[in-house]
Structure formats: structure tokens, C-alpha cells
Amino acid sequence: MARDTHPKKEVRRAIKELRAAGWAIDVAGGGHTHRWGTAICPHQHPDGSGEATRCVRVIYGTPRNQYDEADRLRRALRKCQQMRTRFEKE
Amino acid sequence: MTRTTRSKYGFTLETSGKSVLDDDVVDALYEAGCDDAGIGRFLGVECLDFAREAASYCEAVRSAIEDVQAVPGVGVTRVVNENTPADDAFTAAVNAALSSPAQCPDVSGAREQIELRRIWRIASKMPSGSVSG
């Protein structure tokens, strides 16, 4: 399996959804034991202190449960979307 | 023989100290038992998003805090309950213990009190203002 393809099918599905929403997926290089990659959202969210930050989410290569990991990635996506919606309303 | 029912509980631990996004810390958290958590940063706050199997919500939270605390330099500052409103009281008590470890707060339920005391002991050993390993 190519290094830039996550080994777990359910996680691959969730990563596909993140990519479709514009998230960048940075696949880790060799030498990292457990991090497969990092997902970074495309938005700059104001954090209330004058700074703007992007959502970041580490993706494990071997999560304890691939379904839970996929759910957590989707939750990160929803959280980002909720923050975005709240910011646009203000 | 008594069987204990185990369920999966969702909650988030917000952290301070060393960045949990650092490669070394990611590996250390995984090895410490946090392979059931998503590590991330939202609005500048670093956190671990857990889906932890345990006999109760309070046991899940306590064991997760212990696992995170096992990584030197990483501290737990707050627990965010993503479970049911029934667990809000315990969550509030844990957050009180984490932010002001001078006195162990009260919570109803014998099991909850035992787990809260264990969390409070961790918090009260640490330098004031943070809970770090």
C-alpha cells in the first residue's frame, strides 16, 4: 500500500471527506512511529485573542479502533464547520 | 460471578504545557494508552478527543487523565463532557479539582467520589495552576 494511503479503510473514507471539505492532509515522512499524517482545515478561525488559527488534527497510523478514529475525524470536520458558521453569523 | 458492563464514553481533555502536536509527544501519548483519542488543536486550544471504553464515565475520565499525565510536560487543564447531561456534575467537579486543587470538591455517588479523589490527588501533587507530569 502506498505510504500516502492510510492503512485503515474507514479512516481512508473520513480522510476523503476532509479533503472534499478543503482540508489539507500532510502525510508524515518516515521515522514517525504513530503519526500517519496531519489534517489542517482551510479556514482561519479567530480565537478571540486577535489571532486566527486553523484547526489541526493528528491522524494515527494504527488507531485502537478505525471506526472511532473515523468518527473523530468527522467530528473535527463538524466542529470546524460549526465554528465557521458561528463566525459568519457574528 | 459479577459482570461489569463496559460502554464507550466520549469527552475531550484540554491540555497545556508541551505541545501535543509534537511528534515525540504524539508517540508518547500513544504509548501511554491514548490510542483511543484524537489529538488536535481548535481555536488555539490543544486537546485530546477520547472515545474510551470503561465501566463508567468517571472511570473513563480518570484513566484518560492518568494516561495523559504519564507523558512528561503535558498537563490536563479541563474536561469537556460530550456524553450525557447526567455526567455534567462529575465533569464540573473534575474541572474544579484541576483548577483549584487546594481542596477536593464533592460529588454525589460513591464511585464518582472515589474517581474524583484519584484525579484530585494527581492535581494536588502538581505545581499550582496546571496539572502536568
ipTM of the predicted structure? 0.86
Sequence-separated (6 or more) residues with CB below 8 Å from residue A75: B38, B49
First-to-last alpha carbon distance for chain B, in angstroms, is 38
Cβ-based contacts under 8 A for chains A and B: 69
Determine the pLDDT at residue B22. Answer: 94
Please write the tens of the pLDDT for every residue from A57-74.
999 998 989 999 999 999
Residue with cell 492518568: B66
Decide if B30 and A65 are in contact by the 8 Å CB cutoff.
no
Chain B: residue nearest A34 by CA?
Answer: B27
Grid cell of A84 as nine digits:
465557521
Average pLDDT, chain B: 87
pLDDT at residue B132 above 50?
no
Would A3 be classed as within a structural domain?
A: no
Question: A6 falls in which pLDDT band (50, 70, 90)?
Answer: very high
Decide if B41 and A38 are in contact by the 8 Å CB cutoff.
no
Would A2 be classed as within a structural domain?
A: no
First-to-last alpha carbon distance for chain A, in angstroms, is 45
Determine the pLDDT at residue B59. Answer: 95
Determine the pLDDT at residue B121. Answer: 86
Would A30 be classed as within a structural domain?
A: yes
Residue with cell 483511543: B36
Determine the pLDDT at residue A85. Answer: 82
Angstroms from B64 CA to nearest CA on chain A = 14
Report the percentage of chain A scoring pLDDT > 90: 59
pLDDT at residue A44 above 60?
yes
Could you tell me the residue range of the domain that residue A37 belongs to? 9-89
Decide if A80 and B51 are in contact by the 8 Å CB cutoff.
no
Q: Which of A48, A55, A58 sits opposite B42 (nearest CB)?
A: A55
The hierarchical CATH code for the domain B7-125 is: 3.30.70
Determine the pLDDT at residue A29. Answer: 72
| Count of domains for chain A | 1
Q: Which of B8, B26, B51 sits opposite A58 (nearest CB)?
A: B26
Would A66 be classed as within a structural domain?
A: yes
Sequence-separated (6 or more) residues with CB below 8 Å from residue A82: none
Within an 8 Å CB–CB cutoff, is residue B36 touching chain A?
yes
Determine the pLDDT at residue B103. Answer: 77
A15, A63 Cβ separation under 8 angstroms: no
At residue B74, what are phi and psi to the nearest 5 degrees?
-105, 130
Q: Which of B35, B42, B44 sits opposite A79 (nearest CB)?
A: B42
Would A4 be classed as within a structural domain?
A: no
Please write the tens of the pLDDT for every residue from B75-131.
999 999 876 777 788 999 999 999 887 778 888 888 898 999 999 888 876 554 444
Sequence-separated (6 or more) residues with CB below 8 Å from residue A19: A25
pLDDT at residue B73 above 70?
yes
User: Best interface-test mutation with B: which of A41, A72, A77 has the largest number of B CBs within 10 A?
Assistant: A72
Question: B63 falls in which pLDDT band (50, 70, 90)?
Answer: very high
Determine the pLDDT at residue B131. Answer: 45
Question: B1 falls in which pLDDT band (50, 70, 90)?
Answer: low
The domains of chain B are located at: 7-125
Angstroms from B132 CA to nearest CA on chain A = 21
User: Best interface-test mutation with A: which of B8, B14, B42, B63 has the largest number of A CBs within 10 A?
Assistant: B42
Determine the pLDDT at residue B16. Answer: 93
